Amino acid sequence: MVEHFYPVAHADLSTRIDRGRSEGRADAIVDLAAARRFLARRWWLIAGVALLCVVTAGIVLSLVPKTYTATAILIVDPRTQKVAQSEVVLGGIGSDAAAVESQVEILESSTLAKRVVAELGLDRAGELSETSAIERAAAGLRGLLGLATPAPSAAEQRERVLQRFGERLRVRRRGLTYVLEIAYSSGSAETAAQVANALAGAYLADQQRQKQEAARNAAGMLGGRLDELRARARDTERAVSTFKNQNGIVDLGSAQTLLDREIAEQSQQLTQAQARGAEAGARYAQARRATASGAEGGGTLAEALQSSVVTNLRQQYAQLGAQLADLRNNLGPRHPAVGAAEAQVRTVAGQIRTEIGRLAQGLRNEAEAASARERTLTASLERLKKQAAQRGQARVRLAELEREAQASKVILEQYLLRQKETSEQQNLVGAEARVLTPAAPPLRPSAPKTGLLLLVALAGGLVLGLGAAAAAEAMEPGLRHAGAVERGLGVPLLGTLPRVSASRLAAGGGRDGGQGGSGHARLIGDSREHARFDEAIRMLALPLNAGAGAQGLDRSGLDQRGIAGRSGDTLLVTSALPGEGKSTVAEHLAAAFAAQGRKVLLVDLDTRDARLTRSRRAGQSPGLLDALRNASDPGNFVHHGTVDAISFLPIGIARDDPKAAELFFSPALGRAVADLRRRFDLIVLDGSSLLRGVEGRLLLAHADRTALVVEWGRTSRDDVKAALDLFGRAPGSLAGIILNKVDRKALRRYG
């Protein structure tokens, strides 16, 4: 299986690597295919850990004693039962949340626990009084260490029983309702039901007993106060009677005395007399005005109008007046008849005045009588008021005495009524809660929950198995799939090369760390395994040819006119560590490019090993280092191929010089590479390992593209990352990574 990826050039490789790592972690979360392959590789480890956890949990559960939990359900009814109209002595529980929660505390109190324990005899024998295995073991250990403690006293034993009872009891309120659940756990289903029901009964009996005791105590207290209240009521009533006799106060009902009635009557008579006097005075004044106005004015006086004498005189006066007027008109004012008529008129007018005067005198007498009556009544009322003022303080004191007597009487009546009601309540009180559902012996144990715990053990085992698998995956050496390169390192993967045995790949040539290779015609073999390797090399050349376009060449290595360009491309093939097969890959890539019709030069620059020089039997031939040291033309030392069409430039005899590494620092190396560019379409450089010497790192500046060969499953990620960090500080362009010596069968599990 061969994977190929085309390289993408970046200006800053370190930035690309960091971004690739972060994007790789995000992609790994949703990469379901990668997760499936991970499970396929590690399923046996995950399943084994999960099975171990389930078996362990099953063994532990079989040793744990079973526990049964019975539940009794109570409902608290905050409504007060109105059997009688009177109020109860001890109020109800209440309907607020705090009151209901308080009942939970009462049910969990040690008082009820003691009653239930004593009622069922739980303190004499049973699981509450027995010593647990852990306590026995601890006691035995203390005995061996000489730290034995004396046997617990009876009080300590009772306290221990109550503590264990409380640990097995659970009381809770069901939501926001008035329903309470009493749950008790025991090793016996019957015991659990008995305890839950007994606690519910003890709670109801405790409520009823408290109310009865409260009613009984209240009745006794009220009875003791009645004699004192009776004596106080008698004393206050006697004091009121004595005070009235001493001060001559006579009650007429409705809190009114005899003096008060006399004052009221005198006030009423005085008011009537004043009204009559005012009326008489007004009539007298009118009569005086009438008298002063003459006969004509008396016509407006009411008494004159009602008098028959005055009426007759006025009629005569009117007739005489009419006759006088006629005479004057007929006879004239000086006629004797007129004078006689005038005398008659004057006589009648005098009679009228006399009669009106008499009536006015009568009105005057009446007004004076009314005024005298008013003065008499006023004096009498003033005298009564003086008497009332003299008795005012006595009446105030009497009111105080009467209020005290009335209050004593009311209190006595209330106490008498309350005492009778309280006595009756002793037989009418009841609990304000009732058992909604009694506890029944449970059919299945409540603990341990075997099914749930086994599921938890299975889930935990799966989690632990996944963790163990992830740890095993993380500790697995080397890079094994494209995701580890692309997402883990953020570097393109150019392709993978299958593992080929050295005997098949180098049937007569040299070896390169187990993935050997030779030049010449033996690069193309006949075996099926070798054919797969050659096909992988040819496929690997495609992404590398794509990078040649950046140098003015298409993927065939030719320019737009169909002839080779004037300046060739340089490809550096290197590795992080020795023995990863970089020399073999470089040699086979050069052969693949040459097979495409390109003029290829293969240069051995591995000062540490020089495998290509040895495999091509050029160890004693001068090479590139000799040209650099002697400042000669490197083209003079090129070995031109006859069968594989590869030109080869060995490293040279100067490799054995201890100062040969200094030649890589010389500008002559750059000039030599530039000179070779003009002679060849492609120069393939086989450099030293990046982490084993400075020579391989210096070559990065002279390569247009670099292919990093990594041995599949062997080279650690840290070494690869260290090698990639060198590219971030060098101007060379990293084409990508080539995974070499891949196990095809194992690779299928990684995708």
Summarised one tens digit per residue, pLDDT across range 186-244 is 988 999 999 999 999 999 988 888 887 877 777 777 777 777 888 888 888 888 788 77
Instruction: Note the pLDDT of residue 250.
Output: 63
**Which of 347-361, 450-464, 560-574, 686-700 has the least mean pLDDT?**
560-574
Instruction: Note the pLDDT of residue 133.
Output: 56
**Number of compact structural domains in the chain:** 3
Instruction: Note the pLDDT of residue 259.
Output: 65
Residue appearing with tokens 């309120």: 173
Choose between 323 and 49: higher pLDDT. 49
130: left (phi over 0), alpha (psi -120 to 50) or beta: beta
Instruction: Note the pLDDT of residue 718.
Output: 84
The residue range of the domain holding 456 is: 31-64+448-475
For residue 358, the surrounding DSSP H or E stretch is: helix 336-390
Q: Please check whether residues 647 and 512 belong to one and the same domain.
A: yes
**Which of 294-298, 666-670, 747-751 has the least mean pLDDT?**
294-298
**Which of 183-192, 539-548, 591-600, 640-649 has the least mean pLDDT?**
539-548
Instruction: Note the pLDDT of residue 2.
Output: 40
Domain final position from 365, 390, 415: 390
Domain final position from 424, 458, 475: 475
Instruction: Note the pLDDT of residue 573.
Output: 92
Instruction: Note the pLDDT of residue 747.
Output: 62
- Contact of 446 with 67, CB cutoff 8 Å: yes
Q: Please check whether residues 565 and 697 belong to one and the same domain.
A: yes
Q: Tell me what percent of the residues of the chain surpass a pLDDT of 90.
A: 11
**Which of 114-118, 169-173, 235-239, 364-368 has the least mean pLDDT?**
364-368
Extract the tokens encoding 27: 């992609």
Inside any domain, residue 90: no
- Contact of 388 with 258, CB cutoff 8 Å: no
Instruction: Note the pLDDT of residue 534.
Output: 77
Checking if the pLDDT of 382 tops 70, the result is yes
Q: pLDDT class for 154, splitting at 50, 70, 90? A: confident
Q: Which of 108-122, 127-141, 406-420 has the highest mean pLDDT?
A: 108-122
If DSSP codes are grouped into helix, strand and coil, which group holds residue 731?
Answer: coil
Inside any domain, residue 350: yes
Checking if the pLDDT of 177 tops 80, the result is yes
Instruction: Note the pLDDT of residue 303.
Output: 54
Q: Please check whether residues 633 and 672 belong to one and the same domain.
A: yes
Instruction: Note the pLDDT of residue 563.
Output: 34
Mean of the per-residue pLDDT values of the chain: 76
Inside any domain, residue 189: no
Q: Please check whether residues 592 and 659 belong to one and the same domain.
A: yes
Inside any domain, residue 723: yes
Q: Please check whether residues 463 and 339 belong to one and the same domain.
A: no
- Contact of 445 with 714, CB cutoff 8 Å: no
Checking if the pLDDT of 617 tops 60, the result is yes
In 3D space, the residue among 396, 397, 395, 385 whose CA is nearest the CA of residue 262 turns out to be 385
- Angle in degrees, CA 393, 395, 396, rounded to 5: 65
Inside any domain, residue 110: no
Q: Which of 253-257, 586-590, 652-656 has the highest mean pLDDT?
A: 586-590
Extract the tokens encoding 409: 């009487």
Instruction: Note the pLDDT of residue 518.
Output: 41
Inside any domain, residue 469: yes
**Which of 263-272, 386-395, 610-619 has the least mean pLDDT?**
386-395
Strand 179-186 with 68-76, pairing:
antiparallel
Q: Which of 303-312, 357-366, 556-565, 669-678 has the highest mean pLDDT?
A: 669-678
Total residue count of the chain as it appears in this document: 751
Q: Please check whether residues 355 and 292 belong to one and the same domain.
A: yes
In 3D space, the residue among 672, 706, 724, 281 whose CA is nearest the CA of residue 488 turns out to be 724
- CA distances to 93, 187, 204, 255, 498 from 89, rounded to whole Å, are 13, 43, 18, 38, 98
513: left (phi over 0), alpha (psi -120 to 50) or beta: left
Q: pLDDT class for 603, splitting at 50, 70, 90? A: very high
> DSSP code of 80?
P
Q: Which of 70-74, 322-326, 589-593 has the highest mean pLDDT?
A: 70-74
Q: Please check whether residues 645 and 513 belong to one and the same domain.
A: yes
Q: pLDDT class for 125, splitting at 50, 70, 90? A: low
Choose between 470 and 309: higher pLDDT. 470
Extract the tokens encoding 706: 């670099």
Q: Across residues 701-711, what is the average pLDDT?
A: 88
Q: Please check whether residues 686 and 575 belong to one and the same domain.
A: yes
Q: Please check whether residues 546 and 694 belong to one and the same domain.
A: yes
Q: Please check whether residues 560 and 655 belong to one and the same domain.
A: yes
Q: Please check whether residues 453 and 342 belong to one and the same domain.
A: no
Q: Across residues 451-459, what is the average pLDDT?
A: 90
Checking if the pLDDT of 507 tops 80, the result is no
Choose between 341 and 68: higher pLDDT. 68
For residue 738, the surrounding DSSP H or E stretch is: strand 733-742
Inside any domain, residue 522: yes
Q: Across residues 522-533, what is the average pLDDT?
A: 61
Tell me the torsion sign for CA atoms 138, 143, 145, 146: positive
Choose between 122 and 730: higher pLDDT. 122
Residue 697, amino acid: R
Q: Please check whether residues 453 and 509 belong to one and the same domain.
A: no
Extract the tokens encoding 105: 């505390």
Inside any domain, residue 152: no
Q: Rounded distance, CA 194 to CA 190, Å? A: 6
- CA distances to 300, 309, 360, 367, 416 from 297, rounded to whole Å, are 6, 16, 13, 21, 82
Choose between 643 and 70: higher pLDDT. 70
Instruction: Note the pLDDT of residue 72.
Output: 94
- For 715-726, what is each residue's pLDDT tens digit? 888 888 888 888
Give backbone dihedrals phi and psi of 324, rounded to 5 degrees, phi first: -65, -35
